[in-house]
Amino acid sequence: MGREITLDKDTMIVSETDEKGIMIYANEDFCKIAGYTKDELIGQPHNYVRHNDMPKAAFEDMWKTIQNGKIWKGIVKNKTKDGGFYWVNATAFPSRTANGKKRYVSVRVKPTPNEIEKAEALYKSLR
């Protein structure tokens, strides 16, 4: 199952992808929690850190939402490089680069135990 990494209340994971979901930015908190260097993350699809327990339907909903120009929020379980996992309260939204190219930004913070519990129950029903 792997070891759970618990975010602290001051952790804020930020990443950006291009319009195809390929990572173009990862902040230090992302690298520290997930156990990857920036070089290992940049150029990878964002689902590189998706945990197998996450139902595909959750990400289909996220992509549909942000591609339609809206903000998506949800509780997500991601995997670490060493086989562990961590839960995040994620907010993803569309944006544009300075030269007008579409990109997506995701900001993740520590979820509450209650949010994790509800997400686990929901995701079990979707798998």
Task: Label residue 124 by pLDDT band (50, 70, 90).
Answer: confident
pLDDT at 1 > cutoff 80: no
Task: Say if residues 108 and 89 touch (Cβ distance below 8 Å).
Answer: yes
Phi, psi of 48 (to 5 degrees): -55, -30
Among 77, 71, 1, 66, smallest CA distance to 33 is for 77
For 117-127, what is the mean pLDDT? 87
Domain boundaries, the chain: 13-126
Chain-centroid distance of CA 87 in Å reads 9
The answer as to CATH 3.10.20.600 being correct for domain 13-126 is no
Reported as a pLDDT band with limits 50, 70 and 90, residue 112 is very high
Is residue 96 within a helix (H) or strand (E), and if so which, with residue range?
strand 85-96
Strand partners, 17: 23, 104
**Does the predicted TM-score (pTM) go above 0.75?**
yes
